[in-house]
Chains A and B, each alone.
Chain A
């Protein structure tokens, strides 16, 4: 695109040049001052951004991609983190070294940014409308009513339903996807030249992600804004960007046209990164687990419901109930991986909590012949089922040494003496691919993937028959994710553990599971073997989920999926009312689908 413009005549070239490159970063270095001297976070990064272009900066955590975006915005956390070299140029203005006062007038007006978590970027005590107006009036001297009109126009532009009502609503009254739309509206209302989107869809459900990405692309086409898209998701890169910069440990590893890089990655790291991305269809090559239908299931759920009371009024009467899980039945056979997929709020994690007795439930949960009740569980049950959480740092007591943490299950159940427990802890560390001499360290001294391994070691200490992995790899980088998934698979093969794999990520589920249940608003809408559910998805929601997964293939740009209009369905119902019960019917060979929805 730029090359064609450069070949034009001198006159137009001057015009094109000034309009073609909106942002130029040259030799950018960012360092953080610490006790051990200056540590480099970004070193010698150069790139240019042309008008109307989308440039993706991709990399795993710690690669410096977010620091780069903060450096452009002039938002590096002072005083420790500073730009130590290079120039950032927006049009003719050098942003590096610009005083804060001038930078403030550029921010929002000429460069805007949207963040990963819209809830934390919006002020919870101001209405959507007043926040938008404030953003407009901070940069342009317009009247309140004019600002309001523009705000409304911006909300229409991001295709928010009922924009007039939204103006008066508070951020917590909107869903995650709507909030991110508001953020985008706020970022684009002043028509900035550059929009930096830092993981804009990472916190969103996959179907909502799709809608937001479609929206960003459409708006860019209309407004000609240049976008820097910062992401860890190669699927998002492939769908959105024209050019990509792959970063690793603060350095640019590779850059170029998205199509070229995906087709012929020249750097080993890029290749590894692309290989680690879970792809739909890759699971088919995996031999499915031995058919064990005749065996007694390790876990059996029959008509399980979990409901929370919502109290209201002076007397605290129960007015509504949250139907988090509604009459769910399934069983898990020994040695298989059973996956529960669905978007946030569908009740999949609640099922996990009910299965380990953390939340009370109705109906029957039977795990290795033990009936789960709300109260304290017997020791034998505790040994049979273990849970691995999403965020390993939160799931480990930060004030205990890893050795004590791994040995703790044995201590609690009085298995062996101190030396035997220590020895077992060492064995477990080796089993999950860590070294026994790391036992004296604390959790924060490990990386995210290593911490998840520690959690797995802890879960395995009691030799459970069922491990529940609740979004256990969602918080990890793709390359680490692949390793942890491989570890889980190995452990399953060697010890015959059944895994309940809870995830929102269809691609991961497709790779690891034997059988799949798709959940929507507390109920299972489709259930069957992996081949059945992914090969022949019968329920519209399953199809929607599968279609929404971004594919790491730039040649495969699909048509935008139809948007769900109107309000998001809610699992909250008045007392005495409940959700319409979905009846599952067998369409043959154990493939169950909710009737009536097809």
Chain B
């Protein structure tokens, strides 16, 4: 009875994309990401001012920044620069950090974790002891060291963040891989004579997708904020280039006098992280065959 109904349901399987678009929250997340992306790409055309220009009329007579409204849509910062413009340009930096740096750290973490978890033996021991070492070392200190060695640029900062951030992912992926490797279906593959590559990438990796997605979406906000910390310490993105993180940090001391200078970029980070989170959640369900028909 149930077999028959199931057959009808799965007779014509929809594409993953179409199933993703059927979820309202996922679409909302996609739209948000799209908006940020468009804002970042078209910043030079959308932005009303130059991000580095210090407006004379951007400050009150006492030298305080202007609140949102009027000519300066979201107000101005301490130096009289237009906040809206800086947020738009800052999106470029933050997207690159949040997506590229975070993506790179996920890839490193997954590769290290999956290799160590599957092979065990001395390879696994060496890799995981190295990971533990990295974990024990203060991430910020390491990032500062790395950033000091290379001349700071956006891409170098992204790389530094990736090199610091992969550790947690590697740990989690390692644990999960080593339990997957013990399961019967992996033993069945070995008995069939499947190559190691096939077992790793066709059978183990798909089972790790939910974890990778969760860590990926969590990583967006942490990497954006890590970049901000680095900028604050002077080893991140160099001023006057704006990023959401360094806008927050530049202005945090004036939080009580000009709260919008912290709230608005903070809200931007939050919304971006939320958007990725919603899409990630939906993606995880859509890619999981066990969740079929529960949309």
Instruction: Enumerate chain A residues within 8 angstroms of B10, measured Cβ to Cβ.
Output: 440-441, 445
**Shortest Cβ gap from A375 to chain B (Å):** 11
Closest 4 CB pairs of A and B: A382-B193, A442-B289, A394-B184, A395-B184
Question: B233 contacts the other chain (Cβ, under 8 Å)?
Answer: no
A412 within 8 A of B: yes
In angstroms, Cα B195 to Cα A442, docked, is 23
The residues of B that contact A427 with a CB separation of less than 8 Å are none
10 contacts between A and B (CB under 8 A): A357-B190, A385-B191, A387-B188, A389-B187, A397-B206, A412-B193, A437-B7, A441-B10, A445-B3, A455-B188
Selected contact of A441 from candidates B6, B183, B207, CB within 8 Å: B6
Are B294 and A408 closer than 8 Å at their CB atoms?
Answer: no
For A412, give its contact among B192, B206, B290, B292 (CB under 8 Å).
B192
B138 within 8 A of A: no
Besides A396-B188, A397-B206, 7 new A-B residue pairs in contact (Cβ under 8 A), listed by A number: A353-B187, A387-B187, A395-B187, A412-B198, A437-B7, A445-B6, A455-B188
User: Is A382 within 8 A of B292, CB to CB?
Assistant: no
Hey, which chain B residues are within 8 Å of A397, CB to CB?
185, 189, 203, 206
In chain B, what residue has the closest Cβ to A455?
A: B188
Fill in one digit per residue for B279-295: 1 if any A CB lies within 8 Å of its CB, else 0: 00000000011101010
A462 to B290: give the CA distance in the assembly, Å: 28
Does A561 have its Cβ within 8 Å of any Cβ on chain B? no
Most A Cβ at <10 Å: residue of B10, B185, B195, B207: B185
Is B31 part of the contact surface with A, judged by Cβ < 8 Å? no
In whole Å, how far is B142's beta carbon from the nearest beta carbon of chain A? 32
Q: Is the CB of A412 within 8 A of B194?
A: yes
> How far apart are the CA atoms of A325 and B190 in the complex, in Å?
22
B206→A387 contact, CB < 8 A: no
Given A377, A394, A413, A442, which contacts B290 in the complex, CB threshold below 8 Å? A442
Closest CB of chain B to A440's CB: distance in Å? 7
Q: A35-B294, A399-B207 are in contact. Are A382 and B289 (CB under 8 A)?
A: no
Measured between alpha carbons, how far is A447 from B294 in the docked complex, in Å?
19
Partner of B193, one of A394, A413, A437, A447: A413
CB pair A395 B185 closer than 8 Å = yes
Cβ-based interface call for B240 (8 A): no
Q: Which residues of B contact A379 (CB under 8 A)?
A: 193
Q: Whole-angstrom distance between the alpha carbons of A409 and B292 in the complex? A: 26
Interface residues of A (CB under 8 A from B): 35, 353, 356-358, 377, 379, 382-383, 385-387, 389, 391, 394-401, 408-409, 412-413, 437-438, 440-442, 444-445, 447, 455, 458, 462
For residue B13, CB closer than 8 A to chain A, the reply is yes
Q: Is the CB of B289 within 8 A of A394?
A: no
Does the CB pair A444–B289 fall under 8 Å?
yes
B206 nearest CB neighbor, chain A only: A399
- Which chain B positions have C-beta within 8 A of A387? 187-188, 191
> What bracket does the count of chain B residues touching chain A fall in?
20 to 34
B290 touches A358 (CB 8 A): no
Chain A residues near B6: list those with CB within 8 A: 441, 445
CA distance A377 to B188 in the complex (A): 14
Give Cα A395–Cα B3 distance, bound, in whole angstroms.
21
Smallest distance from the beta carbon of B40 to chain A beta carbons, Å? 35
CB pair B191 A382 closer than 8 Å: yes
Complex-state Cα separation, A94 to B218, whole angstroms: 50
Q: Is the interface of B mostly helix, strand, loop or mixed?
A: helix
Name B288's contact: one of A382, A399, A440 (CB within 8 Å): A399
Which residues of chain A have C-beta atoms less than 8 A from B290's C-beta? 398, 442, 444
* Chain A neighbourhood of B193, CB < 8 A: 377, 379, 382-383, 412-413
Separation of A522 and B3 alpha carbons in the complex (Å): 43
- A382–B192 CB distance below 8 A: yes
Inter-chain contacts of B207 with A (CB < 8 A): 398-399
Query: Are B190 and A358 in contact (CB-based, < 8 A)?
Result: yes
User: Would B183 and A394 count as touching, CB distance under 8 A?
Assistant: yes
CA distance A409 to B189 in the complex (A): 9
CB A303 to nearest CB in B, in angstroms, measures 24
A383 to B191, CA, bound (A): 9
| A386 and B191 form a contact (CB under 8 A) | yes
Q: Which residues of B contact A444 (CB under 8 A)?
A: 289-290
* Residues of chain B with a CB closer than 8 A to A382's CB: 191-193
Which A residues are in CB contact (< 8 Å) with B183?
394
Complex: how many Å from CA A458 to CA B184? Answer: 14
> Cα distance A13–B13 when bound, in Å?
65
Q: Which residues of B contact A438 (CB under 8 A)?
A: 7
How far, in whole Å, are A161 and B141 apart by their CA atoms in the complex? 60
Minimum CB–CB distance for A425 against chain B, Å: 14
Bound: A385/B194 CA distance, A? 14
Closest to A378 in B: B193
Q: Provide the bound-state CA to CA distance between A379 and B207, in Å.
A: 27
**B195 surroundings in chain A (CB, below 8 A):** 412
- B203 to chain A minimum Cβ distance, whole angstroms, is 5
> Which B residues are in CB contact (< 8 Å) with A409?
192
Nearest B residue to A437, CB-CB: B7
Cα separation A391 to B185 with both chains bound (whole Å): 10
By beta carbon, the residue of chain A nearest B192 is: A409
How far is it, in angstroms, between the C-alpha of A408 and the C-alpha of B188 when the chains are bound?
A: 11
Contacts of A377 in B (CB 8 A): 193
Q: Of all chain A residues, which has the CB nearest B289?
A: A442
Task: State the CA gap A440–B6 with chains docked (Å).
Answer: 12
Contact with A along B190-216 (1 / 0, CB 8 A): 111111001000010011000000000
- Which residues of the other chain, B, contact A395 by a CB distance below 8 angstroms? 184-185, 187-188
Chain A residue contacts of B3, Cβ below 8 A: 445, 447
Choice from A394, A440, A455, A458 contacting B13 with Cβ under 8 Å:
A440
In the complex the two chains form, what is the Cα distance from A357 to B187 in whole Å? 10
What's the nearest-Cβ distance from chain B to residue A178, in Å?
27
Of all chain B residues, the one with the shortest Cβ separation from A379 is B193
A233 to B37 CA separation, bound complex (whole angstroms)? 63
In the complex, chain A residues whose CB is within 8 Å of the CB of B194: 408, 412
Q: How far is the CB of B157 from chain A (nearest CB, A)?
A: 36
B255–chain A nearest beta-carbon distance, Å? 44
Residues in chain B near residue A440, CB distance under 8 A: 10, 13
CA distance A382 to B203 in the complex (A): 19
Residues from chain B with a CB closer than 8 A to the CB of A391 are 184
With both beta carbons as reference points, the residue of chain B lying nearest to A391 in the complex is identified as B184
Residues of A within 8 A of B188 (CB): 387, 389, 395-396, 455, 458
- Closest-CB distance, A555 to chain B (whole angstroms): 38
Q: How far is the CA of A356 from the CA of B190 in the complex (A)?
A: 9
Q: How far does the alpha carbon of A385 sit from the alpha carbon of B10 in the complex, in Å?
A: 34
Contacts of A356 in B (CB 8 A): 190-191
Given contacts A35-B294, A399-B289, contact A358 B192 (CB under 8 A): no
Q: Is the CB of A408 within 8 A of B192?
A: yes
What A residues does B294 contact at CB under 8 A?
A: 35
* Nearest CB in chain A: distance from B182 CB, A: 10
Name B198's closest neighbour in chain A (CB-CB). Answer: A412
A385-B193 Cα distance, complex, nearest whole Å: 11
Identify the closest chain B residue to A382 (Cβ): B193
Which residues of chain A come closer than 8 Å to B206, judged between CB atoms?
397, 399-400
